[in-house]
Amino acid sequence: MQALLVLEDGTVFTGKAFGATGEQWGEVVFNTGMTGYQEVLTDPSYCGQIVVMTYPLIGNYGINKDDFEAKRSFVRGFVVKEECDRPSNWRVSNKIDEFLAREGVIGISGIDTRALTRRIRNHGTMRGIISTQITDPAILIEKAKNTPGISGQELVPTVATKEIYTVSGEGHRVVLIDFGAKANIVRCLNNRQCEVVVVPPTTSPEEILAMNPKGLMLSNGPGDPTDVPYAVKTVKSLIDKLPVFGICLGHQIIGLAVGGKTYKLKFGHRGANHPVKDLASGRVYITSQNHGYTVDKDSLPSDMEVSHINLNDNTVEGLRHKSLPVFSVQYHPEAAPGPMDSEYLFDRFLDNINNFVASEGR
């Protein structure tokens, strides 16, 4: 079956449909990872987006039961050069076509993903539509122009937990505010014996403190950080009361909570191969990333310092408070997919918690 992908600037790609059929719009973004497509498809941070994979062959190891980062897929569409319909892996349980069909995600293959990626890189992220129903590109282009941008969609409530739940552990209690948390964040905390209490993003500071946590974790999530002002207010209230560690959207929320600003990147950072420099040690880490917004370093107050930078464009990749046990990174130390080089940051968070507990005599 034929499928069309059109961009708001009038660019049209014709390919072959796989997965679900129908029509869907979203922000068209690209991911440079060679592997990890299952984690990408189930990462809640991709909610509202049509994801283009730059690696030319996707689906060759199928879908398995272990590598999910959420219970379902939140992507609006999936774009590949070639879809492998004969996966080979001892863990495989489904073909990627079967998985996308089950999840209601429209896929398109057989298009020039290099040309599409260059277009996004040179002209910036754009709105787009994938359709298996309408064959007239002009109609779809007009539709794409009239779809909402990512900012203002308030995507966090779509992917975040609605109820409080606890993942048991024998160590310190950590409250994780879920803006669309990947499962591996909970695993990384749990592997360090933490009891993880996962709460909705609308949970009040008073409710969080009543749980008697020893640390506060802010998860990743989709969309514009200014779309969750209630979360910024919560973090602002708690930032001097608990050790805090923020990842991705959580990092941006910390930046806003201390009085900084954020802005949208031209085409974002998405993939498992982004070089980041730790300014304190001078060491370079290869990181997993997925974000379209960043903190404006010039807007930060004097008590916050930039701890990490992206070596591709020098944007902010980490923040650290000069006097409080508060830090954050824009990238994903839990990986999934990607290198585990930065998992030590969870140990740093635990060190902050231990020091906090000792100083408070708790």
Tell me the torsion sign for CA atoms 38, 39, 45, 50. negative
Check whether 293 is labelled as a binding-site residue.
yes
State phi, psi for 92 to the nearest 5 degrees.
-60, 135
Give CA–CA dist 172/28, Å, rounded.
Answer: 40
Asked if 248 and 226 touch (Cβ cutoff 8 Å), the reply is: no
Residue 180, annotated ligand binder? no
State which H helix or E strand residue 143 sits in: helix 137-145
Inter-CA distances, 269 with 48, 125, 260, 274, 317, Å: 16, 11, 20, 8, 11
Find out whether 45 is annotated in a ligand binding site. Answer: yes
Residue 176 annotated as lining a ligand binding site? no
Residue 2: strand pairing partners: 16
Joined tokens for residue 280: 């304190």
Q: Is residue 252 a known part of a binding site? A: yes
User: Rounded to whole angstroms, how far apart are CA atoms 62 and 84?
Assistant: 8
Q: What is the C-alpha to C-alpha distance for residues 224 and 210, in angstroms, rounded to an integer?
A: 29
- If we measure between CA atoms, which residue out of 70, 25, 71 comes closest to residue 50? 25
Measured CA to CA, the distance from residue 131 to residue 148 in angstroms comes to 17
Any idea which residues carry the catalytic annotation? 248, 332, 334
> d(Cα 179, Cα 351) in Å, to the nearest integer?
24
Q: 63: which DSSP letter?
A: B
Count of CB atoms situated within 10 Å of the CB of 92? 15
How far is the CA of 88 from the CAs of 62, 231, 331, 333, in angstroms?
7, 43, 31, 29
CA distances from 314 to 276, 282, 309, 337 (A): 9, 14, 5, 23
Going by the annotation, the residues of the binding site for L-glutamine are 45, 221, 223, 249, 252, 290, 292-293
Going by the annotation, the residues of the binding site are 45, 221, 223, 249, 252, 290, 292-293
